[in-house]
Amino acid sequence: MAKGRGQMSYEPDQAALFEALMRRDLSSFIQRSFLTVDPGSQYLHGWHVDAIAHKLQQVAAGQIKRLVITMPPRSLKSIAASVAFPAWLLGRDPRLRVLAVSYGEGLSEKLAMDCMKVIEAPWYRACFPRTRIARGRGARSDFETTRGGGRFSTSVGGTLTGRGGDIILIDDPHKPEEAASEAKRLAVKDWFKSTLLSRLNDPRESPIVLIQQRVHEDDLAGMVLEQGNWQHLNLPAIAEEVEEIALGRGRVMNRDIGDLLHPERLPRDLLARLQKDLGSYVFAAQYQQRPAPLGGGLVKWNWFQTYDRPPDRTLEDRIIQSWDTASKAEEVNDHSVCTTWLVRGSSAWLLEVFRAQLEFPELRRAIEARAHAHSASLILIEEAGSGVQLIQDLRRSGGLNIRGIIPKGDKQTRLLGVTPLIESGKVAIPKNAPWLATFQHEVILFPKGKHDDQVDSLSQFLIWLGEPVATAMSGTVI
């Protein structure tokens, strides 16, 4: 029988049932842990807690080795995955060594202390009598059990010398306000690959759980999902597709488009206010787990006209190619990109996107080959970096109409300046093409995406398209 918020007492038979339930059902255990960690707050259960618990129990049973859970902030993810789950694991096996990671030392310490609070609670001690914290082995971020297991914490970038884990739990590896920093994101991913992965006690069998809100296309969740072999439980605040989500014990949740994840904690009016306050980019990432607004960022995909086949070329039409070049074919460098356009008056049809990592000699040959393949009237090349030498070299060799384009302003400013051309329906793209998916992905994610070479080629061409005809067609013919 309940005595008050956070305090409960049971008759003997009820106590036995309660203890059995805590040992068997992680979702119920999460609810009870919440009341211990935050006894002054009301627990509002949502079906998503059952979905999370179901996946985590599959991890505990050895059925899942790599798990990613992406979900909005303030949805009980840390209580579930970083507090209750390790306590539940240690209750079942006090010899287990749990390695828990978060983006900051302060957060790591708080989650560790909350977990220790659960393990020291009377109800937990009754449910799991074999699990006790060893005397003198409880610290702010670490504690050990009398059986040699424990929960050991660190922050991203921290040292892990001498430490290993039978399971690794990663809770929000990125600090949200640092999401825009490529260097910060790269540091998290490098630390994961170079340091954290080597801390698994059994590299083949020890599981890893990553639970986070998305902050960028190129965050840690994005990296591991791109690699494959990770199961993914995706829980956007507002459903964007029809799906069936397993809740355990044969139960499922059927989500329709527009359904809310947890109306009691994240009602529709609050989500609308958050979207307005945060902006569409941040809201799409952190609340929708989609690091770009639906339909696009600066450019909405539905602004483009589409065609089944390009118009037949007439004598008045021009073929324009826009090159964004990279000088080295190393993995860290951007690709070189050529977009080929049929231009009629002030309208343009995108015919082809060529994208490759090429060293300078191959890049020069590719420019000539693409120009001859399409009988290009004019070739636009960014007059910066490797483009300067390319322009000089191609002009000396003759045969091509080359125009150097000196970029003005940053990439976002340049694209913003030409979006009216797209929105007004003057730019058409094919309905189907081998390169279309990659082009679409980059355009709608910009400026939050990993690459921007195709966007640079696009904006360079559209800047040219918006110029007066006499100026736009000027080049150097040799």
> pLDDT category, 476, cuts 50, 70, 90?
very low
| CATH code of the domain containing 448 | 3.30.420.240
- Answer yes or no: do 178 and 258 share one domain: yes
- Answer yes or no: do 344 and 273 share one domain: no
Q: Are 291 and 280 in contact (CB under 8 A)?
A: no
User: Can you tell me the mean pLDDT for 44-68?
Assistant: 97
Tell me, what's the pLDDT at 295?
Answer: 73
Tell me, what's the pLDDT at 11?
Answer: 64
**Domain contains 278:** yes
Largest CA distance in the chain: 96
- Answer yes or no: do 181 and 238 share one domain: yes
Tell me, what's the pLDDT at 8?
Answer: 55
Residue 236 or residue 291, greater confidence: 236
Instruction: Tell me the pLDDT tens digit for each residue of 313-371.
Output: 999 999 999 999 985 544 445 789 999 999 999 999 999 999 998 988 999 999 999 99
CA 129/CA 385 separation, integer angstroms: 68
| CATH code of the domain containing 187 | 3.40.50.300
pTM of the model: 0.69
- Answer yes or no: do 282 and 372 share one domain: no
Residue 344 belongs to domain spanning: 301-477
**Domain contains 123:** yes
Whether 303 shows a pLDDT value over 60: the answer reads: yes
Whether 297 shows a pLDDT value over 80: the answer reads: no
> pLDDT category, 450, cuts 50, 70, 90?
confident
Among candidates 308, 298, 344, 292, which has minimal Cα distance to 429? Answer: 308
**Domain contains 291:** no
Whether 397 shows a pLDDT value over 90: the answer reads: no
Domain count, the chain: 2
**Domain contains 116:** yes
User: Can you tell me the mean pLDDT for 81-108?
Assistant: 94
Instruction: Tell me the pLDDT tens digit for each residue of 94-105.
Output: 999 999 999 988
Tell me, what's the pLDDT at 168?
Answer: 96
Q: Are 344 and 317 in contact (CB under 8 A)?
A: yes
Kindly give the pairing relationship between strand 427-430 and strand 305-307. parallel
- Answer yes or no: do 273 and 350 share one domain: no
Element counts in the chain: helices (H) and strands (E): 17, 20
Q: Which of 237, 256, 286 is the last residue of a domain?
A: 286
Whether 6 shows a pLDDT value over 50: the answer reads: no
Q: Which of 257, 286, 315 is the last residue of a domain?
A: 286
The strand ranges marked E within 325-410 are 336-344, 347-356, 378-382, 401-405
What's the chain's average pLDDT?
Answer: 89
- Answer yes or no: do 270 and 351 share one domain: no
User: Can you tell me the mean pLDDT for 465-475?
Assistant: 65
DSSP label of 170: E
Tell me, what's the pLDDT at 329?
Answer: 47
- Answer yes or no: do 337 and 426 share one domain: yes
- Answer yes or no: do 229 and 366 share one domain: no
Tell me, what's the pLDDT at 1?
Answer: 38
Instruction: Tell me the pLDDT tens digit for each residue of 146-193.
Output: 999 999 998 898 877 777 899 999 999 999 888 878 888 999 999 999
Please give the angle made by the CA atoms of 296, 325 and 434, to the nearest 5 degrees. Answer: 50
- Answer yes or no: do 275 and 309 share one domain: no
Contacts with 36 (C-beta within 8 Å, 6 or more apart), sequence order: 6, 117, 118, 121, 123, 124
Tell me, what's the pLDDT at 66?
Answer: 97
- Answer yes or no: do 412 and 449 share one domain: yes
Residue 1 or residue 244, greater confidence: 244
Tell me, what's the pLDDT at 12?
Answer: 63
Q: Could you please report the per-residue DSSP string of 43-74? A: ----HHHHHHHHHHHHHHTTS-SEEEEE--SS
Question: Which H or E element spans position 377?
Answer: none
- Answer yes or no: do 330 and 259 share one domain: no
Q: Are 460 and 324 in contact (CB under 8 A)?
A: yes
> What is the chain's alpha carbon radius of gyration, rounded to the nearest angstrom?
28
